[in-house]
Amino acid sequence: MASPAETERREPVNEQIVANMYASMRTELNQIYSKITELEMDASEHSLVINAIQPLDPSRRCYRMIGGVLVERTIKEVLPAVERNKEGIEEVIARLNEALEKKKREIAEFEAKYKIRIRKPDSDVKDDSNRKEGSAQGVLVGPASSSE
């Protein structure tokens, strides 16, 4: 048997609930985008480190931050660990990109189901007011980046 929260998630009761669900989905999408950006920056930093230490003598001293503690190692010990970390980050980025595409499809389906249209900024509203709409009713939602 479905809980009331699951039932509400499947079939919203009114426009306000639909708008809130849509805003929540857009927020999740933005969080995924920001996490991907953050991890891409980390992968880029790992690449810079790898490129900087790869040509050096493997027995040379190297310092690495582990859990907030700076430890002394050799390049021979640090380089494989940095490469593994970079590969792990790239795998996470790939999974997040898959989740991003899934969330985009979910949002597109939600928009189609509830006939959601994104409200244009104030300057564009004048142009849209002259257009006649059909009998289809939908939910108007403001831009995801606007804060009220």
Tens digit of each residue's pLDDT (9 = 90 or more) over 132-146: 555 556 666 766 654
User: In the prediction, which pLDDT does 125 show?
Assistant: 47
Rounded to 5 degrees, φ, ψ at 111 are: -60, -45
Contact 96, 39 (CB under 8 A): yes
Q: Which residues of the chain have pLDDT under 70?
A: 1-12, 123-140, 142-148
User: In the prediction, which pLDDT does 119 show?
Assistant: 83
Longest dimension (CA), the chain: 75
